């Protein structure tokens, strides 16, 4: 892995633990020599994450849509910023630039990006690792829902196990480095359709 796409919230008024986790993730990416690919924002977890990468000598690449490329929203000091007209183009470009994906706490946008990435893995578009940084149990209800989806037969166990989860950046990145793509699960799912 050389680059990690991180999905996370842009809201400023969130618990300090979430902001601290974003800072720790950014510092860890820089320390490991991993390039950050993210949505290009300067606010919330997004801004803290990018700042930590840059402050620790790392590379941060932002991919932002034109409508959000404003002084109030766009990070002014990234290694590189790419501006695209549509959100679908933005997500495709982030996918293209990354070797793996991590979701930190966030809202609708974060969940949308996470589930699109998981769906692409499920249908064989990519075999890249996907992980959750589960800060203060933020994703516990989501993980319980995914366990229920598996129990009810909507998700194969192999696909459920493919979503890696840890509470600390180093533990999550170590798990992602050891990720083995579930190629047979993709074939089995495609036969079910």
pTM: 0.93
Token pair 């998981």 is found at: 118
Range name among 49-63, 126-140, 179-193 with the lowest pLDDT average: 179-193
Single out the residue of 131, 139, 133 nearest to residue 167, CA to CA: 133
Starting from the edge strand earliest in sequence, which strands make up the sheet with 3-7, in order? 80-84, 60-65, 35-38, 3-7, 100-103, 130-133, 163-166
Residues 19-49 pLDDT 10s: 999 999 999 999 999 999 999 999 999 999 9
Confidence of residue 125 (pLDDT cuts 50, 70, 90): confident
Confidence of residue 180 (pLDDT cuts 50, 70, 90): confident
CATH code for the domain defined by 3-192? 3.40.50.450
Q: Report d(CA 40, CA 27) in Å as an integer.
A: 17
Residues 61-119 pLDDT 10s: 999 999 999 999 999 999 999 999 999 999 999 999 999 999 999 999 999 999 999 99
Q: What is the helix (H) or strand (E) element at residue 158, kind and residue range? A: helix 157-161
Q: What is the helix (H) or strand (E) element at residue 30, kind and residue range? A: helix 16-31
């Amino acid at each position: 892995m050389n680059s990690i796409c991180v999905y996370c919230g842009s809201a400023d008024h969130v618990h300090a633990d979430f902001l601290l986790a974003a800072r720790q993730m950014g510092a860890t990416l820089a320390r490991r020599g991993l390039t950050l690919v993210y949505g290009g924002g300067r606010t919330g977890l997004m801004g803290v994450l990018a700042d930590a990468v840059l402050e620790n000598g790392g590379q941060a690449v932002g991919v932002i849509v034109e409508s959000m490329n404003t002084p109030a929203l766009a990070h002014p000091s990234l290694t590189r910023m790419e501006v695209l007209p549509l959100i679908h183009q933005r997500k495709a470009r982030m996918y293209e630039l990354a070797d793996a994906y991590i979701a930190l706490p966030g809202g609708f946008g974060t969940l949308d990006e996470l589930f699109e990435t998981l769906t692409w893995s499920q249908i064989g578009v990519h075999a890249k690792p996907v992980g959750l940084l589960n800060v203060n149990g933020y994703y516990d209800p989501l993980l319980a829902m995914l366990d229920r989806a598996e129990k009810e037969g909507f998700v194969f166990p192999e696909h459920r196990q493919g979503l890696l989860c840890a509470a600390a950046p180093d533990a999550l990145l170590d798990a992602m480095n050891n990720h083995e793509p579930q190629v047979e699960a993709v074939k089995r799912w495609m036969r079910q359709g």
